[in-house]
Chain A
Amino acid sequence: MLEVTGLHVAYGGIQAVRSITFHVNEGETVALIGANGAGKTTTLKAIARLVDAAGGDVHFRGEKIVHAAPHDIVRKGIALVPEGRGVFPRLTVAENLRIGAFIRNDAVDIEKDLETIYGYFPRLREREDQLAGTLSGGEQQMLAIGRALMSRPKMLLLDEPSMGLAPIMVHKIFEVIRAVAAAGMTVLLIEQNARLALESSQRAYVMESGEITLNGASTALLHDPKVRAAYLGE
């Protein structure tokens, strides 16, 4: 469904992503793990067109999207939940969710989807009219995921949904991510919490200093001695 070939991204002189190649099949959850500064966020930003690729290609459902306009990415079916959540702090919770459906015009179905999101995250319904900036970190993460789902994407890109959250919150959020994936969503999941990422995905890629150094089935990587030593703290 998503094919990244030889993608290269540089910030000025810094080579953040060096010619990486990977793919995500329809219906799969694929994890991309790696240490701080490995280039994970940059990879997602390049797919979502928030940064320009210096080289390489990105295809989504057979269509070349590496030069698409940033505001067209979601229309093609890709929704990104950005690092640090990126909720609109001075919009209410409900407005944040509705703006997730900005590209849609089917008012009736939008209301239905809003109910679905509130079903996943009852906390958001309770805080519907509150400004998003006043939510806790975990609630903002719920909101950012809900907002992405409101566009009815074909693929979800998640950038460290567990970052800075208490274990119980992480548990709740991953429950929803797994439920969405089980319902057929294609997911590309970035995580520093490698164990969580590998346990939640079918396949995974390991990124180091801008390059992909390992890949394989997530269960295999969970037992790979190198991965265990470097990313699972064993």
Chain B
Amino acid sequence: MDIFLQQIINGLVQGSIYALVALGYTMVYGIMGLINFAHGEVVMIGTLVSITVVGLLIGAGMPAGLAGLCGLVVAVLVCMGLGWSLERVAYRPLRGAPRLTPLITAIGMSIVLQNLAMILWGRNYLTFPPLLPKVSFELAGTHFTLVQVAIVAISAATMGGLLLLIYRTKLGMAMRATAQNPAVASLMGINANRVIAAAFVIGSALGALAGVMVGSYYEIAHYQMGFMLGLKAFTAAVLGGIGNLAGAMLGGVLLGIIEALGAGYIGDLTGGFLGSHYQDIFAFVVLIGVLMFKPSGLFGEKAGDRA
């Protein structure tokens, strides 16, 4: 079996998930310069909501695939509402406040959401029921499962859809205009509040989708899972150039691949001193490296003067 190719495939799967989450960070940042650190928790809520819905429906005799689809729809709707409320309740009153204020609020919101999830779903690890048949394929010395194929395909299609929305619709044009010059955008009749709310709602919908994917990929979920996932997706957004959509997509996939290759070879690299469970360090090495050497990221234009 070809370890290198295999790890690229694993990285692509994980990276697609990072990319979806990173888009939520980058859309909000691009429009209002805010890093919504509670976004990882929105993803977590998406996973837990879908677990509950899927569990109930399967218990009622619905086939797993269909139950998964229903769970996804409910999770997306709940997260859209959550993203909208976050903006409305936590961030909008702070518009125009010093930059640190909404940042601290974001951290506060993420603690609130974690605790809320702990109360609703408990402290224990929950198992996510398998949604797709456990079929696996072999190609050129690599193995991959139906779930992996579905994750990559659905992510790619969703991101394509997002690009169409942003670059081909009136709402997308309004979002881009507001990101570039909010005052002049308002002269065009664009209501900045609506555009900002749209960025939160769309980002949260992508986050919910990512949450369902993580759940069905690892078949496990926990109220604290949003923290690490959020941090890594944020790293991916910074790697691509925060505020840039294509950057978030590429940054996510790259980070997934770097991590997977790192995990695959870390044992060899350190003479067996560190094992693959140390894979989390790669994300942070990347984050520190980008912030030190190219803070504007791969596609970033002027992240430096905003942050």
Contacts and interface: CB of A to CB of B under 8 A. Distances in A.
Contacts of B181: 86, 88
A71 B189 contact: yes
Interface in B192-217: 192
Interface string A86-104: 1011110001001110110
Given A99-B173, A102-B170, A91 B189 contact: no
A82 B189 contact: no
A98 B168 CA distance: 12
Contacts of B180: 88-91
B158 to A, nearest CB: 23
Interface residues of B, number: 17
A88 to B, nearest CB: 5
Contact of B177 (A48, A50, A73, A88): A88
Which of A86, A100, A102 has the most CB atoms of chain B within a 10 A radius of its CB?
A102
Interface residues of A, number: 25
Contacts of B187: 48, 50, 70, 73-74, 79-80, 82, 86
A201 interface: no
Contacts of A88: 176-177, 180-181, 184-185
B188 A102 contact: yes
Contacts of B190: 71, 99, 102
Nearest to A101: B188
B176 A71 contact: no
Given A50-B183, A102-B170, A91 B188 contact: no
Interface in A69-121: 69-75, 79-80, 82, 86, 88-91, 95, 98-100, 102-103
B174 interface: yes
A151 interface: yes
Given A71-B191, A71-B192, A91 B186 contact: no
A86 B184 contact: yes
Contacts of B186: 50, 70-71
B201 to A, nearest CB: 19
Contact of B184 (A73, A75, A82): A82
B282 to A, nearest CB: 32
B75 to A, nearest CB: 33
A205 to B, nearest CB: 23
Contact of A102 (B174, B176, B183, B192): B174
Contacts of B191: 69, 71
Which of B173, B181, B188, B190 has the most CB atoms of chain A within a 10 A radius of its CB?
B188
A91 B189 CA distance: 17
Interface of B: 170, 173-174, 176-177, 180-181, 183-192
Interface of A: 48, 50, 69-75, 79-80, 82, 86, 88-91, 95, 98-100, 102-103, 147, 151
21 contacts: A48-B187, A50-B186, A70-B183, A70-B186, A71-B186, A74-B187, A74-B188, A79-B187, A86-B184, A86-B187, A88-B181, A88-B184, A88-B185, A91-B176, A95-B173, A99-B188, A99-B190, A102-B173, A102-B190, A103-B188, A103-B189
Lowest 9 CB-CB distances: which A-B pairs, in order?
A103-B189, A86-B184, A70-B186, A74-B189, A102-B188, A71-B191, A71-B186, A88-B180, A102-B189
